[in-house]
């Protein structure tokens, strides 16, 4: 809950805040009546997402990065399906999978 409150405070100060998409975080934001968007890759980006997380783990073999990679390999479809149930979603399609295009996508959806 503190994590969500800090994010809301930073948002009120004018910062763009990116948080974990874990269910607990989303539920905390909802309980605080915060408006948020879930931004996540489409189902078809699984292999690219695994590649991205593998690269991240190889550059920083922290336990956090290892767990993220394993979670993606074992639960990608389940996790994405869960995120699709949220009200305000922005799904990253294959054609949008780069930083510049993602920023434009968020602007169009008024994320900031």
Of 101 and 38, the structure prediction assigns the larger pLDDT to: 38
pTM of this structure: 0.75
The per-residue pLDDT for 68 is 94
For residues 41-50, give the mean pLDDT.
91
Using one digit for the tens of pLDDT, what is the confidence trace for 48-69?
899 989 999 999 999 999 999 9
Between residues 87 and 98, the one the model is more confident about:
87
Dihedral sign for Cα 112, 11, 69, 51, please.
Answer: positive
Each residue of 26-57: b (16+ CB within 10 Å) or e?
A: bebbeeeeeebebbbbbeebeeebeebbeebb
- What confidence tens digit (pLDDT) does each residue in 13-31 have? 988 888 988 899 999 999 9
């Amino acid at each position: 809950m503190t994590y969500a409150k800090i994010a809301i405070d930073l948002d009120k100060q004018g910062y763009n805040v990116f948080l974990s998409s874990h269910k607990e975080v989303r539920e905390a934001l909802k309980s605080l009546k915060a408006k948020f968007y879930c931004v996540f890759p489409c189902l078809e980006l699984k292999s690219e997402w695994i590649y991205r997380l593998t690269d991240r783990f190889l550059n920083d073999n922290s336990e956090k990065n290892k767990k993220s990679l394993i979670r993606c390999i074992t639960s990608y479809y389940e996790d994405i399906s869960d995120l699709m149930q949220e009200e305000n979603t922005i799904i990253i399609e294959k054609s949008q999978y780069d930083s510049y295009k993602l920023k434009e996508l968020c602007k169009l959806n008024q994320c900031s």
